[in-house]
Structure 1
Amino acid sequence: MKRLAVSLAFFLVLSLGVGLAVSGPDFMDWGVAGGLFALAVAGEGFRFWLRHSRTKKHDSSGV
Protein backbone atom coordinates (compact mmCIF):
# COMPACT_ATOMS: atom_id res chain seq x y z
CA MET A 1 0.00 0.00 0.00
CA LYS A 2 2.89 2.35 0.68
CA ARG A 3 4.16 1.89 -2.88
CA LEU A 4 0.71 2.72 -4.24
CA ALA A 5 0.49 5.90 -2.18
CA VAL A 6 3.97 7.04 -3.22
CA SER A 7 3.25 6.27 -6.86
CA LEU A 8 -0.06 8.14 -6.86
CA ALA A 9 1.48 11.11 -5.05
CA PHE A 10 4.26 11.24 -7.66
CA PHE A 11 1.77 11.11 -10.53
CA LEU A 12 -0.40 13.76 -8.84
CA VAL A 13 2.52 16.19 -8.65
CA LEU A 14 3.60 15.31 -12.18
CA SER A 15 0.12 15.81 -13.64
CA LEU A 16 -0.30 19.13 -11.82
CA GLY A 17 3.07 20.25 -13.18
CA VAL A 18 2.12 19.29 -16.72
CA GLY A 19 -1.27 21.00 -16.35
CA LEU A 20 0.44 24.16 -15.20
CA ALA A 21 3.07 24.00 -17.95
CA VAL A 22 0.46 23.49 -20.69
CA SER A 23 -1.81 26.28 -19.50
CA GLY A 24 0.79 29.00 -19.22
CA PRO A 25 0.74 31.78 -16.64
CA ASP A 26 -3.03 32.47 -16.86
CA PHE A 27 -4.67 29.53 -15.12
CA MET A 28 -4.33 25.82 -14.40
CA ASP A 29 -5.53 23.47 -17.14
CA TRP A 30 -7.54 21.15 -14.90
CA GLY A 31 -8.73 19.02 -17.82
CA VAL A 32 -5.21 18.00 -18.77
CA ALA A 33 -4.08 17.53 -15.17
CA GLY A 34 -7.19 15.55 -14.23
CA GLY A 35 -6.98 13.41 -17.34
CA LEU A 36 -3.35 12.53 -16.72
CA PHE A 37 -4.03 11.70 -13.10
CA ALA A 38 -7.05 9.58 -14.05
CA LEU A 39 -4.85 7.68 -16.50
CA ALA A 40 -2.28 7.10 -13.74
CA VAL A 41 -4.96 5.85 -11.33
CA ALA A 42 -6.33 3.50 -13.98
CA GLY A 43 -2.85 2.17 -14.69
CA GLU A 44 -2.12 1.58 -11.02
CA GLY A 45 -5.50 -0.11 -10.60
CA PHE A 46 -4.78 -2.38 -13.56
CA ARG A 47 -1.34 -3.24 -12.15
CA PHE A 48 -2.90 -4.06 -8.77
CA TRP A 49 -5.64 -6.20 -10.40
CA LEU A 50 -3.10 -8.04 -12.55
CA ARG A 51 -0.87 -8.80 -9.56
CA HIS A 52 -3.87 -9.86 -7.47
CA SER A 53 -5.22 -12.18 -10.18
CA ARG A 54 -1.80 -13.80 -10.64
CA THR A 55 -1.57 -14.41 -6.91
CA LYS A 56 -5.01 -16.03 -6.86
CA LYS A 57 -4.11 -18.18 -9.87
CA HIS A 58 -0.89 -19.31 -8.24
CA ASP A 59 -2.61 -20.13 -4.91
CA SER A 60 -5.45 -22.11 -6.51
CA SER A 61 -3.19 -24.30 -8.67
CA GLY A 62 -1.81 -26.26 -5.70
CA VAL A 63 -4.12 -29.06 -4.68
Structure 2
Amino acid sequence: MRFALTLAFFAGLSFAVGLLMSGEEFCDWGVAGGLFALAVAGESLRFWLKRSRAKNRQSSEI
Protein backbone atom coordinates (compact mmCIF):
# COMPACT_ATOMS: atom_id res chain seq x y z
CA MET A 1 0.00 0.00 0.00
CA ARG A 2 2.79 2.41 0.89
CA PHE A 3 4.55 1.67 -2.42
CA ALA A 4 1.45 2.63 -4.43
CA LEU A 5 0.78 5.72 -2.31
CA THR A 6 4.36 6.92 -2.71
CA LEU A 7 4.26 6.42 -6.48
CA ALA A 8 0.94 8.27 -6.70
CA PHE A 9 2.45 11.18 -4.76
CA PHE A 10 5.51 11.30 -7.01
CA ALA A 11 3.32 11.05 -10.13
CA GLY A 12 1.42 14.15 -9.02
CA LEU A 13 4.60 15.96 -8.07
CA SER A 14 6.26 15.08 -11.39
CA PHE A 15 3.22 16.27 -13.32
CA ALA A 16 3.16 19.55 -11.37
CA VAL A 17 6.86 20.16 -12.09
CA GLY A 18 6.20 19.34 -15.76
CA LEU A 19 3.44 21.94 -15.83
CA LEU A 20 5.66 24.56 -14.20
CA MET A 21 8.55 23.88 -16.58
CA SER A 22 6.44 23.73 -19.73
CA GLY A 23 6.45 27.35 -20.84
CA GLU A 24 3.83 27.70 -23.58
CA GLU A 25 3.12 23.98 -23.98
CA PHE A 26 0.60 22.17 -21.77
CA CYS A 27 3.18 20.03 -19.98
CA ASP A 28 6.83 19.18 -20.43
CA TRP A 29 6.39 15.42 -20.59
CA GLY A 30 10.12 14.75 -20.84
CA VAL A 31 10.79 16.41 -17.49
CA ALA A 32 7.71 14.88 -15.85
CA GLY A 33 8.47 11.41 -17.20
CA GLY A 34 12.12 11.61 -16.23
CA LEU A 35 11.33 12.65 -12.68
CA PHE A 36 8.72 9.91 -12.37
CA ALA A 37 11.17 7.33 -13.74
CA LEU A 38 13.70 8.37 -11.08
CA ALA A 39 11.02 8.05 -8.40
CA VAL A 40 10.01 4.57 -9.62
CA ALA A 41 13.64 3.45 -9.72
CA GLY A 42 14.31 4.77 -6.22
CA GLU A 43 11.19 3.25 -4.70
CA SER A 44 11.82 -0.06 -6.45
CA LEU A 45 15.37 -0.13 -5.10
CA ARG A 46 14.11 0.68 -1.58
CA PHE A 47 11.47 -2.06 -1.82
CA TRP A 48 14.00 -4.61 -3.12
CA LEU A 49 16.53 -3.79 -0.37
CA LYS A 50 13.88 -4.03 2.32
CA ARG A 51 12.70 -7.37 0.97
CA SER A 52 16.22 -8.81 0.63
CA ARG A 53 17.12 -7.76 4.18
CA ALA A 54 13.98 -9.44 5.52
CA LYS A 55 14.80 -12.57 3.53
CA ASN A 56 18.37 -12.67 4.90
CA ARG A 57 17.14 -12.17 8.44
CA GLN A 58 14.62 -14.98 8.06
CA SER A 59 17.11 -17.46 6.59
CA SER A 60 19.73 -16.80 9.27
CA GLU A 61 17.36 -17.73 12.12
CA ILE A 62 16.74 -21.25 10.87
TM-score range, shorter chain: over 0.9
Q: Please say if 1:15 is aligned against 2:30.
A: no
Aligned length: 62
Q: Please say if 1:50 is aligned against 2:23.
A: no
Normalising by structure 1, we get a TM-score of: 0.91
Normalising by structure 2, we get a TM-score of: 0.93
SS at match of 1:39: helix
Question: Could you tell me how far 1:37 is from its partner in structure 2?
Answer: 0.3
Query: In angstroms, what is the RMSD of aligned CA positions?
Result: 0.9
Percent of residue pairs bearing the same amino acid type: 63
- Distance in structure 1 (CA, Å) of the matches to 2:44 and 2:36: 12
Structure 2, unpaired ranges of 5+? none
Structure 1, unpaired ranges of 5+? none
